[in-house]
Amino acid sequence: MEQQNQLNIDLSPEIAEGTYSNLAIISHSTSEFVIDFIRIMPGTPKANVKSRIILTPEHAKRLLFALQENVSKFEAQNGKIKIIDNPFVPPVPMGFGGGEA
């Protein structure tokens, strides 16, 4: 039986490599959510946004549910994810430039 609504997704080699991020900042307006992915390196006073993803509120909620489901599956296989304080990563960065979404 053939799938009716099949979507073919192309993943280029450059995008398949991925971009490492150890901080995400989320902001929103009435019409969209903006997620900035940042890489903070120890001993570096400045961190740059490596990627910005803009989502509709509906897609942001779908992403939330997908992340919750995947974290639950991961923890079922690998045990609870422990969140520890990292002296190199501030809990909420201040002085973040780039404006509001």
CB atoms within 10 A of CB 36: 20
pLDDT tens digits, 66-77: 999 999 999 999
Phi, psi torsion values for 36, nearest 5 degrees: -100, 125
Q: Residue 42's domain spans which residues?
A: 13-78
Distance, CA of 97 to CA of 90 (rounded, Å): 16
Residue 97 located in a structural domain: no
Which two tokens mark 82? Answer: 């422990």
More confident residue, 11 or 4: 11
Residue 87 located in a structural domain: no
Residue 5 located in a structural domain: no
Tell me how many domains the chain contains: 1
pTM of this structure: 0.74
Distance, CA of 21 to CA of 19 (rounded, Å): 6
Residue 88 located in a structural domain: no
pLDDT tens digits, 78-100: 999 998 876 655 555 544 455 44
Residue 98 located in a structural domain: no
Sheet containing 23-28: which strands, arranged edge to edge?
A: 23-28, 33-39, 48-55
